[in-house]
Amino acid sequence: MSDTAFSVKGKNLIAPIRGAELVAFLHDSPGGQTKSIVIEAARPPVNAPSRGKAVSPRRMLPPPAAALSKRPTKKVSDTAQAAMGEIEQALKRLGLDGLARRNDLSGSFVVEATAEQIRELAATPGVQAIRPNRRHRNIAS
């Protein structure tokens, strides 16, 4: 079994769980023990600009605002907000909404959750990844 697979109700699911430490917690944690996690909202992939031959700096400038407004594109911010809303609803359903910290800049939530709650959050469609929240200590100078 890979480090991102776990079993829920007899089904083997590939979950957005990242990190061996978190996978071990899901398999070995006693009931009621919590772990601080970061839940990242799903975001669409972004295409990198192509690297063609050298062009004039004028051609590298973005087009005028009028031309940009006519382009039919889906906004990344709309997609991220929908995913953040799905995660927020899952946190409310699990009773974690009062404890969760929302970070709109990175599109994530930080919360303390049990192994069962982490499994349920991993099954939420708007979740891209769940990682352990790393705590760093300050080094006195």
82-128 pLDDT tens trace: 888 899 999 999 999 898 999 988 889 999 999 999 999 999 888 99
- Give me the count of residues in the chain: 141
18-30 pLDDT tens trace: 888 888 888 888 7
Q: Under 8 Å CB-to-CB from 97, ≥6 apart: which residues?
A: 88, 91
Q: Select from 100, 94, 107 the least CA-distant residue to 43.
A: 107
The single residue listed with the structure tokens 């600009």 is 49
Name the pTM for this structure. 0.65
Domains observed in the chain: 5-45+74-132 (3.30.70.80)
| CB 8 within 8 Å of CB 119 | yes
